Structure formats: C-alpha cells, structure tokens
C-alpha cells in the first residue's frame, strides 16, 4: 500500500484509511466477525489508518477495534473522535469543554484497550466553547502521553486557523467526494496553506457513487441513510443522472465506478487521505485497488464538470444535523 504523510508533523499512513463507522452503525446488516476480519485484512495489506469515534454505537465501535487489534496494536494508526453525544431522545449534543475532553479521552483509551491514541479529533465544533480552550485541553493530552496528534472534524476554515495557532493540527476530517465538493472553496486551500491533511470521509457519497443505490427502496427501513435528504427518491432521481459519466470513465479504465470516485479524490491533493468505510473484505479490496489508478486530466475534468460544486440535489444531513456542522 502506498503511503502519505499526515500534516507537517504527523505520522506516515496508508494512502487510504478504513472508516469503521458502518461496523456498528446501521448501514446494512451488522456483523462483528466480518468487521474484525476486514480490519485484519486491511492491516495484512498495509492499510494502517483506522477511523472511529466514541459516538459510533455509543463506544461499541472503539470496543470492536480493540478486539481486532489484540496482538496487533503497533500495526495500526488509530484516529478516534470525541464531542458528539447522542442524547436519550435521539438528538445530538456537542461538548468541547476542557474537562470533558480529558474525561472522553480516558474513556476512549479504556474502550480501545490502548495506552495512547495516535490521532485524537474533535468530532464537531462546540460553538459555546472557544476552540482555543478545546484544543488547549487536547494539547495537554499530548503532554500526558495519552494522544500523539491533534485533529479536527467538520470545522470551518477560520476555526481551523485559530485551532492551528493553539496547537499544530495534523488533519481535518470532513465530507469530500464528487458529490460533496464545497470544501474546495475555502477549507481545502486553508489546509494546504497550513500544512494540514484533509481526511475525506464518505468519498463514495455513502455508497451512491458506487452505482449500487438507484432507488430509496434499495435501502432497508433501518438504514440511517433513509433519513438523509440526498437519499430521498426525488433527489436520487436528479443525482443519478450524473452517474453516467462516472460509469463511462470507469469502463474506459477497466475499473469500477467506486474506484474511479476514490481515485478522483486522491488526485485532488497529494497529502489528502480519504477514509472510505466498509465492513466487507470484498469492498475493501476494491477500495485499495483505487490507490493504483491514475486518472488523466481529461478524465478529472469530465468528472469535475458533471459533478459541479453545489449541483448535488439534497443536503448532506437533515436540517438539525446541518446546524451542528462547523462549515
């Protein structure tokens, strides 16, 4: 597996990571045994970056990773997150208070069964707490040896600047794909200027860009994507028209649409590390193969023109969740 360096002072990681969220959150059927097998397969093939959060399955995701890494901890770069809390009524709360940062980290360390976390990221920005205070608390975790690097997730460009002045940020996790390109306007240029690696999640548009979702009926009733506006049937009908060019490029290259979508993301910046999620070795193999695909400028331009910024029908999340994004 090819490697890339995270940020100016971060670790060297595999060119793509493994998003583990779907292993404990309903994106189809859950299966711990297959998920652990997939993590092992990733490590066996040099994919070492594992992305998690204490919010995924209320800590169960971190516990699953702990099981998978028994005897193999040194092979993995663990990136987990804190600060997004699901309340009993199903709504989300954000907590970036310094005392909570310490508490959350201690809990994650215990669930992960490790003495340190390679990259610890704030899952969502708490607008009631100055980012300097939150990142300051994270820097103290570095001093304590409990984390090695500091990251952010879904933060706006000005917040990233302020955070980086407080303590060096190695990566910013945010959604970025052919159908979510808004980060190109301010966030990606800011990261490039500051030497921060962008870590795109959902580079396959939560599966849409693979071409496997043609109708809302393709998703089970308990699949979380059912609640996301882009997977409403009227929006699928509009967005599916764009898939034709992606499928054409894939056919010309002898690759699958999903692999072309990942390759397109990879070629937007040499320090960018996407984290496509899967819990099946079959799809992991397909994702890893995308690292070896080089798209010509004409291919990149064709795809960028069809999937123009702001042209995707439907927002990324429901209105309430969109308000929690720091972008």
- Return the CATH number at 249: 3.20.20.100
Gap between the Cα atoms of 273 and 15, Å rounded: 6
Q: Is the pLDDT of residue 231 over 90?
A: no
Residues 6+ apart with CB under 8 A from 44: none
pLDDT band for 25, please (50, 70, 90 cuts): confident
Residue 2 confidence (pLDDT): 97
Look-up of token digits 């901890």: 73
Residues 6+ apart with CB under 8 A from 214: 236, 240
Task: Summarize the confidence of residues 210-234 as an average pLDDT.
Answer: 83
Residue 115 confidence (pLDDT): 98
Residue 320 confidence (pLDDT): 59
* Domain assignment of residue 254, given as a range: 3-322
Task: Summarize the confidence of residues 91-113 as an average pLDDT.
Answer: 96
The residues annotated with a catalytic role in the active site are 56
Task: Summarize the confidence of residues 92-102 as an average pLDDT.
Answer: 96
327 falls within a domain: no
Number of residues that this document lists for the chain: 327
235 falls within a domain: yes
Residue 238 confidence (pLDDT): 87
Asked whether 277 and 18 are in contact (CB, 8 A), the reply is yes
Q: Sign of dihedral through CA atoms 231, 20, 78, 121?
A: positive
Share of the chain above pLDDT 70, in %: 96
pLDDT digits (tens, 9 = 90+) for 133-158: 999 999 999 999 999 999 999 999 99
Residue 327 confidence (pLDDT): 52
Share of the chain above pLDDT 90, in %: 80
Q: Is the pLDDT of residue 103 over 90?
A: yes
Backbone angles phi, psi at 326, to 5 degrees: -95, 20
Q: Alpha-carbon dihedral of residues 174, 240, 220, 37, nearest 10 degrees?
A: -50
Q: Sign of dihedral through CA atoms 47, 60, 27, 233?
A: negative
Residue 318 confidence (pLDDT): 60
Q: Which of 85, 64, 79, 84 is nearest to 116 (CA)?
A: 79
How many domains are there within the chain? 1
Residue 92 confidence (pLDDT): 82
Asked whether 303 and 245 are in contact (CB, 8 A), the reply is yes
Task: Summarize the confidence of residues 210-230 as an average pLDDT.
Answer: 82
172 falls within a domain: yes
Task: Summarize the confidence of residues 54-58 as an average pLDDT.
Answer: 94
Gap between the Cα atoms of 114 and 79, Å rounded: 12
pLDDT band for 27, please (50, 70, 90 cuts): low
């Amino acid at each position: 597996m090819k490697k890339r360096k995270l940020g100016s002072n971060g670790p060297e990681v595999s060119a793509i990571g493994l998003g583990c969220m779907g292993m404990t959150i309903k994106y189809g059927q859950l299966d711990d045994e297959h998920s652990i097998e997939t993590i092992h397969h990733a490590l066996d093939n040099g994919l070492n970056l594992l992305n998690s959060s204490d919010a995924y399955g209320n800590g169960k995701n971190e516990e699953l990773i702990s099981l998978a890494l028994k005897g193999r901890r040194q092979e993995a770069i663990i990136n987990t997150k804190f600060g997004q809390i699901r309340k009993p009524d199903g709504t989300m709360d954000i907590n970036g208070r310094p005392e909570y940062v310490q508490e959350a980290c201690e809990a994650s360390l215990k669930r992960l069964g490790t003495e340190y976390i390679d990259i610890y990221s704030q899952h969502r920005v708490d607008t009631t707490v100055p980012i300097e205070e939150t990142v300051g608390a994270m820097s103290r975790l570095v001093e304590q040896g409990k984390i090695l690097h500091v990251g952010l997730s879904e933060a706006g460009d000005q917040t990233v600047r302020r955070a980086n002045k407080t303590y060096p940020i190695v990566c910013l996790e945010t959604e970025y794909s052919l159908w979510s390109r808004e980060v190109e306007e301010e966030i990606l240029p800011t990261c490039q200027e500051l030497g921060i690696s962008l870590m795109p999640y959902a580079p396959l548009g939560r599966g849409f860009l693979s071409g496997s979702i043609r109708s809302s009926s393709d998703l089970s009733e308990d699949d979380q994507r059912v609640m996301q506006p882009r997977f409403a049937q009227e929006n699928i009908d509009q967005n599916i028209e764009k898939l034709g060019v992606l499928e054409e490029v894939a056919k010309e290259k002898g690759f699958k649409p999903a692999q072309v979508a990942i390759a397109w993301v990879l070629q937007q910046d040499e320090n960018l590390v996407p984290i496509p999620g899967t819990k099946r070795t079959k799809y992991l193999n397909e994702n890893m193969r995308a690292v070896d695909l080089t798209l010509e400028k004409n291919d990149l331009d064709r795809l960028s023109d069809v999937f123009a910024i702001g042209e995707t029908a439907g927002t990324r999340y429901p209105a309430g969740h969109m308000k929690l994004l720091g972008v």
